[in-house]
Structure 1
Amino acid sequence: MTISHDVAGSGPAVVLLHSTVCDRRMWDPQMAALVDAGHRVVRCDLRGFGETPMPDRPYNDAQDVTDLMDLLGIEHAALIGASGGGRVALEIAARWPKRVTSLALLCTALRGHEPSAELRAFGEREDTLLEAGDIAGATELNVETCIGPHADEATREKVRQMQSHAFEVQLAAAEEFGPIRAETDLSAITAHTLLISSSHDIADFRQIAVRLSDELADARHLELPWAGHLPSMERPDELNPVLIDFLRETPAAG
């Protein structure tokens, strides 16, 4: 199955991987800016999000994305991943390092990270609400947790719509198939990397960014004092130039 996606522009490829609070619509504020900067931009919905249905067999998100790149004739790409999409981007960069020219990770998750008490409490509260069938309550919990204090109501409503849709799709699945876990070695990552964290986010995501900035061979860390967990949506006019300048640092092939 090919995951749902959009393609726009021409030039070096950039693949956008969404947070698991959202779907590919979260990148609406970046699409035109990246195309205007001279990139071929691909954004996709991971399984169970947006327009991509739930899996009907065991699956691997990283493999889905590289299969999409193959379908589109993209040999090399820069990856920009947010939260859970960052985790997928890290796996791609570790398993297929020659395919990733640069890596921008926004408040990224990391497989194997030991969650703090705050993050565990959030997950437990979300589970309790979903088990009770309270999709609206679980959605609002995510909106209040993930959106920083400076975001406007239109941004909150967009996240509300994306998260609610994901919960509805995922809870309606007749059968649940878990992901295939691939062994990955982060030391294999060679891509020029930018790690972005936010002052108004749960502390775990800053800790992950700091850890990765130390562990990856070519990485730096940027903290945004104004942002919550979804800076690309909260203040795109401030974040887009940061991403475009970063992409210009590494000439992309393919």
Structure 2
Amino acid sequence: MTISYQVTGDGPDLLLVHAGVADSRMWARQVAELKDRYRVITLDLRGYGETPLVPQYSDAGDVLALLEELGANDVTAVGASYGGYVVQQVATRRPELFSRLVLVCAPTDNVQPDDELRALWAEENKLLEAGDVDGATDLTVRRWIGPDADDDARELLRAMQQRAYDVQLAAGDVDNEEWPVEPEKISAPVRLITGAHDFAFFTDSADYLADRLPSSEQVRLPWAGHLPTLERPSEALELLLG
């Protein structure tokens, strides 16, 4: 594989796919707690952590290739935010690989971003075009993590986002082939987690999926922002696997 990944522990396969403002480091505490019960698979998507970008690639294709290389089956897949969107793409194409999905504040196809999120993206792009990477990183830390996060969580998010900017800005224009998401084809049961302090787009996406998935449950967290497993890590295992 040309992407960075780690396999830790032994047991049923558990795949953890990070958010688009993070990398595989966001799962460090969960890996430590789960390695005695699962074969935990984590990775850095292209442009994050230790995985460089290439001109043309597919995040969904990379994840599927990794699962096939590892001989994974009956996979429980957890995807946070953009990572949850990647999981949906793979589970649409190869539903038989998965026994359960957990989508944490994840987007999906056919749902439009809300005005608040569009405004945030515009502000981020303006800062990056002006060369103010530190300002864009500060914006991420302010807006993408909820009020319950402690200083350690915020500093980790800062480090992960800073690394992503460094890799992505140096690479220039790239082409990520995205696969269509068809919820009706996803046969595994799906837990849909959303946070009350998150952008409306992600709750709208969960509602859209709940109406179309063959088997799903919704968990709405009144205390959470966009990254609940970082905001209250002590509750993460119950959220993901309970």
Task: Give TM-score, length-normalised by structure 1.
Answer: 0.92
Q: 2:177 aligns with which of 164, 176, 180?
A: 180
Letter of the structure 2 residue corresponding to residue 207 of structure 1 = D
Partner Cα distance (2:9, 2:121) in 1 = 38
Partner Cα distance (1:109, 1:214) in 2 = 14
Give 1:76 shift: 3.3
Matched, 1:42 2:41: yes
Aligned to 1:128: 126
Aligned length: 242
Aligned to 1:232: 229
Aligned to 2:85: 87
Matched-pair contact (CA < 8 Å) for 1:9–1:35: yes
Give 1:114 shift: 0.9
Partner Cα distance (1:79, 1:182) in 2 = 17
Q: How does 1:160-171 map to 2 (within 5 A)?
A: 160-171=158-169
Greater mean alpha carbon deviation, residues 175-184 or residues 87-96 = 175-184
Q: Secondary structure at the match of 2:77?
A: strand
Aligned to 1:20: 20
Give 1:141 shift: 0.8
Q: Secondary structure at the match of 1:143?
A: helix
Letter of the structure 1 residue corresponding to residue 42 of structure 2 = R
Q: How does 1:88-237 map to 2 (within 5 A)?
A: 88-173=86-171, 175-237=172-234
Give 1:161 shift: 0.5
Matched-pair contact (CA < 8 Å) for 2:85–2:107: yes
Give 1:111 shift: 3.1
Matched-pair contact (CA < 8 Å) for 2:191–2:216: yes
Flag structure 1 segments of 5+ consecutive residues without an equivalent: 246-254
Greater mean alpha carbon deviation, residues 210-219 or residues 236-245 = 236-245
Letter of the structure 2 residue corresponding to residue 65 of structure 1 = V
Flag structure 2 segments of 5+ consecutive residues without an equivalent: none
Partner Cα distance (2:73, 2:147) in 1 = 40
Letter of the structure 2 residue corresponding to residue 49 of structure 1 = Y
Matched-pair contact (CA < 8 Å) for 1:29–1:233: no
Give 1:183 shift: 3.4
User: After superposition, what is the alpha-carbon deviation per residue over 1:121-152, rounded to whole angstroms, capped at 9, x for unaligned?
Assistant: 01111111111111111111111111111111
Q: Secondary structure at the match of 1:42?
A: strand
Partner Cα distance (2:2, 2:170) in 1 = 21
The percentage of aligned residue pairs carrying the same residue is 44
